[in-house]
Chain A
Amino acid sequence: MDLVSSQGLRIDGRRPNELRKIRCKLGVFSQPEGSAYLEQGNTKVLAAVYGPHQTKGSRSKAIHDAAIVNCQYSMATFSTNERKRRPRGDLKSTEMTLHLKQAMQASIKTDLYPYSQIDIYLEVLQADGGNYCACVNAATLALIDAGIPLKEYVIACSASLGNGDVPLIDVSHLEETMGGSNLTVAVLPLSGQIAVLEMSQKFHIDHLPVVLNEALNGCRRIYEILDEYVKTHLNEIGTIAGWAKSDF
């Protein structure tokens, strides 16, 4: 079965360069400093950010000129088709955690918070492909909600190849399993710097630039969507707090 039909549509009815519907909400919890909920199609993720606070546990962990970024990726047991046995701690989650940490550290201005720690907790409620991308995007939103200084947004997007040479972006679970190799990239979209780049399998050298370029385009579009949402959200809650009196 082809991933792209003769009419140029994918299995879920999207065009090859079309993103899934993104819906998000900031400030979903009251206890953490920042929190966000993000849906990309059927992939649903909750993110919570605690901190910056004093490092917990042994003092030797604290860094004298930067904050520690601590991530935890977990998938709810009901998030996949087959019920998961444990939500975190398996090899895949540990790897995800490391990649998330790398992406978040690329953007957070950790040098402003010596001896501190920032905790980012991510929970996948429903997994339908692109879990890593949704997690990075949700974590960015939660960090913005927490008021933690960032260089800029970190946005992740996945891309793959369909029918041998058609680049597809924002790959769903079905396409991930049916299709070929899958590329995930996390970037700082304004400056174009790449924080994380990962491929599930080898790409042909001729295809890589095309697919990477499509993924970067996807990141920029996700950035625009999220940025617009952040601004409307802040306007909604900020004007009442006396922001409108700012005469800038």
Chain B
Amino acid sequence: MDQSICINLAVERVNTSVPTREQPCKLFTPGEIIFLQSDFMRGHGTYPEDDVLKASVAGVVEQIGKLISVKPLKNRYNGEVGDVVVGRIIEVTQKRWKVDTNSRLDSILLLSSVNLPGGELRRRSVEDEQMMRKYLIEGDLVSAEVQSIFADGSLSLHTRSFTYGKLSQGILVKVYPALVKRSKTHFHNLPCGASIILGKNGFIWISPTVSDANSSGGFTQNLDQKVLKGDREVIARLRNCILALAASKIPLYSTSILYAYEESEKYQLAELLNPESMLDIAILTQQKIQMMEDF
């Protein structure tokens, strides 16, 4: 099978920015004064000095009542209680798993905040502690929710629902956390035939749709199930679409991903990796989103 390989010269690199009709907004860079008075509450990305409020990151100012914060485009995931995240187990320790969630400190999944197989609520015994490796080991991927935030800023996760738990077959895509838009639900069964978990931490999980709702939660991992080639192609196409949107910094949510998927139909799967076609999809998606907003 012959495949054309596309390697561009650096000077011919595609500019991934998508034209918008939005007006450029006022930006603040580190050290710039936001307010001269100090009667405002300082939020993230700001610091007070000599009675003035200054920005500490580069971005736009968000004002909620008296709270002033500066939002950067890219940063590590700042956890908030209730966020849906996807993470990877990196360590199994006493009564807890350490999870990499792209946060600035490792997150913690306590043994007491998971639903053990069997279902019933009970005290976690020593046997359970010894069985921890049977449920989740290093390298496993889990979907979870942020339960609380510790004093040092690390996150405590929980999987106390059948929607959360160990992930079995699929693809993980990593994007900037800020690109994932907060919405009512972060679990989607897309009509194109794949399920998607949009982790608020920028980890996106794409998997084949499982018809049996019970098998998704908990710690079962169905590796024997064969994913058909058609499903795999859908998943790969979704991945490429998400990367195309992320390269052009378009917010990711179910609608934008679906639009991008529809626009990508005209391309072969492998063609979606070309920077030109990625940009094309991003532009078409952006236009479609704007059209829908106008209605």
Contact = CB atoms under 8 A, between A and B. Distances in A.
Interface of A: 27, 33-34, 51-54, 64, 107, 109, 113-116, 144-153, 188, 190-191, 227, 230-231, 234-248
B130 interface: no
Interface in B141-187: 152-154, 178-179
Report the interface size class on chain B. 35 or more
Interface of B: 17-18, 20, 22-27, 29-32, 45, 47, 54, 56-63, 71-76, 104-106, 152-154, 178-179, 248-251, 286
Contact of A241 (B29, B45, B63, B73): B73
Nearest to A241: B249
A180 B58 CA distance: 39
Contact of B105 (A115, A144, A188): A115
Which of B58, B75, B105 counts the most A-chain CB atoms under 10 A from its CB? B58
Contacts of B20: 239-240, 244
Contact of B60 (A64, A113, A246): A246
A156 B74 CA distance: 25
B55 to A, nearest CB: 9
Contacts of A236: 17
Contacts of B154: 115
A230 B28 CA distance: 10
A188 B29 contact: no
A33 B106 contact: no
Given A34-B74, A238-B249, A54 B17 contact: no
Contacts, number: 135
B59 A238 contact: yes
Given A235-B27, A238-B73, A113 B249 contact: no
Contact of A243 (B25, B31, B74, B76): B25
B152 A114 contact: yes
A109 to B, nearest CB: 6
- The A interface, classified by DSSP as helix, strand, loop or mixed, is mixed
A242 B248 CA distance: 12
16 contacts: A33-B75, A34-B74, A114-B152, A115-B152, A144-B57, A147-B58, A147-B76, A149-B56, A150-B56, A151-B30, A151-B47, A151-B56, A153-B30, A191-B31, A246-B25, A248-B25
A7 B22 CA distance: 50
Contact of B104 (A52, A151, A234, A243): A52
Contacts of B73: 147, 234, 237-238, 241, 243
Given A147-B75, A150-B57, A240-B249, 19 more contacts: A27-B74, A33-B75, A113-B104, A114-B153, A116-B104, A146-B74, A148-B57, A148-B75, A149-B30, A149-B56, A151-B56, A191-B31, A231-B58, A239-B20, A239-B25, A240-B286, A244-B20, A247-B63, A248-B63
A116 to B, nearest CB: 5
